[in-house]
Structure 1
Amino acid sequence: MTSVEELVALLDLEDIDADLFRGAQPRSPRPRVYGGQVAAQALVAATRTAGEGFAVHSLHSYFLLPGDYSVPIVYDVERIRDGRSFLTRRVVARQHGRPIYFQTVNFQLPEEGWEHQDAMPEVGGPDDGVDMADLMRRSGTAEADALAEEWSAIDVRHLGTTRRGLAPHPEHPSRAQLWLRVRDGLATDDPVIHLGLFTYASDISLLGAALAAHDTTPARTMMASLDHTIWFHRPFRADEWWLYDQWSPSASGGRGLSLGRVYTQDGRLVATVAQEGLIRPVR
């Protein structure tokens, strides 16, 4: 993804039949499809079948098999529920006749209700962060250049981790914080595009929070996302800075669980993300 335009084009799925869509692939030297891409395209597919006025409020997903960049991905949407206030869709992503990813998406008609949120932590601004691509290269990540190219439409500024730059936290032994945004701004206000691009970016580095308490790096760890969940709380733009406040409550059995709170620069909590993944030492 060398430009924001290419990334937006990736979300423009082809309608091939009723509730059946095809997603294009970017050029990439990596051996498997980036998980955030599949999640974002599946979300767009589900949204294409939702009624007018409904907004996505959560998605829950499982990564089943590595994706193949050499062929398109087909997204099959099943209409699970059509209620007056809520809709539910289930999406199966397929390649070579096999499911590679499942996603369940819930929609709601916007309504008024009680309001509260966690306070945004006190952190430095985006200009205080380190470019993610530079950080990956310095840590010896084997795919640093390929990932930097794939994520080049996303601006990522890393603030630190438990072992590198963040103050100890008595309740969270493994933490990471970073700022993200889509580069160069977006020419559209379409909320589906903004949510799709956010979903794409939400998979960046989240599992790394599970390594933050340990004397290792992604370069010395076999890592793979197993599941990914997002709860969308409030509207926001993907091309404005958002703080990704991440922590890992548990790691065991070769798996790590990471959680992330997403804040806009003015302190609004707009999303919460959870992911469990494989974190296995390279032997």
Structure 2
Amino acid sequence: MTDAKRLPWLRLMALKQTDKDVYESVHRAWPSSGGNRAFGGHVYAQSAIAASKTVEDGLVIHNITGHFILGGSVLAPFVYHVRRIGDGRSFSWRTVEVFQGSQPSARPCFVATISFKRYEESKSWIPLEHQAETFEDFTKTYSSILDRTKPEETPLAPGADAPWWYNANNDAWRVTNDMFPGVDIRKVDMSGHNETSRHPTRHPAAGRRQLCFYRLIVDAESRELLNKTTSEILNLHAAAHLYASDRNSLFLIPRAHGLADRIAVLASLSHTVIFHGDPARLKMLDEQGNPIWFVQEAWTSNSGAGRGCHESRLWNYKSGRVVASTIQDGMVRIPRDPGRVPKYYQQAETALQSVSNPSPKL
């Protein structure tokens, strides 16, 4: 996909090295939910890219856990400090601490632990491979939706998947949302599925599902480079999956409980992604360099004590392979008194009205 208005993936994730194993972002993150707060998927994905610059050729990310400690800002660059934990024959491990502005003397805003692996094809070992659900199962489960849904005709994902976003009448913020950079993400209308697929013995929230299609945004300059299958390029593709997996994820939890209009606090605490199988499957372009559609199948498995768990599978919508599994722990607070909610919405709408069209450059 090429869109002159939307920053392509390679430019969005650009880093400059400022010291040994220290990197700084070049382009600002997208403003999440209005105001100057940065989209968490930006620092999550870019930390993986920074770490990948310190490992040997042939190593591709297969596992990452990130902890969100402080909210990030779009007004300052992210600074990534990579620590080399260990290097083996097949694996390498890195941690990344991320700071903003003058923060290096303070605590980081984000910390990640990342593992890289060399792809193995050995005559000595039996190649085990399976996935719990086949693509036939997937398409059958969602046939009532997928039979009438084309990814490219699906609406763009909202800036925030909450009623106050849909009710907001702010042209500037909608323009900003339509410029969501790097990855084209589209939210599927699940109303025809969620209301008819409830399990007789499970909590209604556990049965709710959300599908989101996504594909890479590329331009002519980056298309040829991103169509290679070197480990360096595959790590860039892996990071794009990380980026997409974090979009609007936690909003599913209050929505599954029928309380999307009463959110007071919603924030990521940790996010883990495990990539499966041959790392070449992470590639998001076909042989001609055209973006391939992937689809995130998401649900909430548990909630309690002010937190909620979001899980998902990332499917290649062309091959039917599950390329990754995700699990995210988030803070979710819903006030008992509905009277407390309008104040939060008023603050959110004030933030929306302060948004202008942000420059991608810092």
User: What TM-score results when the alignment is normalised by the length of structure 1?
Assistant: 0.88
Structure 2: gaps (5+ residues): 122-126, 228-232, 285-290, 341-362
Counterpart Cα distance in 2 of 1:94 and 1:87? 23
| Pick aligned residue for 1:236 from 256, 272, 282 | 282
Counterpart Cα distance in 2 of 1:264 and 1:197? 13
Q: CA deviation at 1:243?
A: 1.5
Q: CA deviation at 1:220?
A: 3.8
Counterpart Cα distance in 2 of 1:273 and 1:209? 14
| Pick aligned residue for 2:234 from 191, 200, 222 | 191
| Secondary structure in structure 2 of the residue aligned to 1:248 | strand
Deviation per CA, 1:55-103: give whole Å up to 9, x if none: 1111011000001221111100111111111110000001232300000
Q: Residue in 2 aligned with 1:111?
A: 120
Q: CA deviation at 1:212?
A: 3.5
Counterpart Cα distance in 2 of 1:155 and 1:147? 14
Deviation per CA, 1:206-259: give whole Å up to 9, x if none: 212222322222674431111111111142233311111111111112211010
Q: Residue in 2 aligned with 1:100?
A: 109
Q: Determine which structure has more spread, i.e. the larger CA radius of gyration.
A: 2
Structure 1: gaps (5+ residues): none
Counterpart Cα distance in 2 of 1:203 and 1:138? 15
Larger helix share, 1 or 2: 2
Q: CA deviation at 1:149?
A: 3.9
Greater mean deviation of Cα atoms: 38-47 or 152-161: 152-161
Counterpart Cα distance in 2 of 1:50 and 1:158? 35
Assess, with a 3 A threshold, how the Cα gap between structure 1 residues 164 and 33 changes in structure 2: closer, same or farther. Answer: farther
Greater mean deviation of Cα atoms: 79-88 or 135-144: 135-144
Assess, with a 3 A threshold, how the Cα gap between structure 1 residues 65 and 45 changes in structure 2: closer, same or farther. Answer: same
Assess, with a 3 A threshold, how the Cα gap between structure 1 residues 3 and 218 changes in structure 2: closer, same or farther. Answer: farther
Task: Within 5 Å, give how 1:1-283 maps onto structure 2.
Answer: 2-5=5-8, 7-26=9-28, 28=31, 30-95=35-100, 96-97=102-103, 98-112=107-121, 113-118=127-132, 119-120=134-135, 121-122=138-139, 123=142, 124=146, 126-127=149-150, 130-133=154-157, 139-141=163-165, 145=174, 148-149=177-178, 151-161=180-190, 165-166=193-194, 167-170=196-199, 172-183=206-217, 187=223, 188-189=226-227, 190-217=233-260, 220-234=263-277, 235-238=281-284, 239-265=291-317, 266-281=319-334, 283=340
| Secondary structure in structure 1 of the residue aligned to 2:310 | strand
Counterpart Cα distance in 2 of 1:156 and 1:11? 17
How many pairs align?
Answer: 281
Q: Residue in 1 aligned with 2:349?
A: none
Counterpart Cα distance in 2 of 1:137 and 1:75? 29
**Percent identity among equivalent residues?**
27
Counterpart Cα distance in 2 of 1:218 and 1:180? 26
Assess, with a 3 A threshold, how the Cα gap between structure 1 residues 43 and 2 changes in structure 2: closer, same or farther. Answer: farther
User: What TM-score results when the alignment is normalised by the length of structure 2?
Assistant: 0.70
Q: CA deviation at 1:280?
A: 1.6
Assess, with a 3 A threshold, how the Cα gap between structure 1 residues 40 and 18 changes in structure 2: closer, same or farther. Answer: same
| Secondary structure in structure 2 of the residue aligned to 1:204 | coil
| Secondary structure in structure 1 of the residue aligned to 2:45 | helix
Q: Residue in 1 aligned with 2:287?
A: none
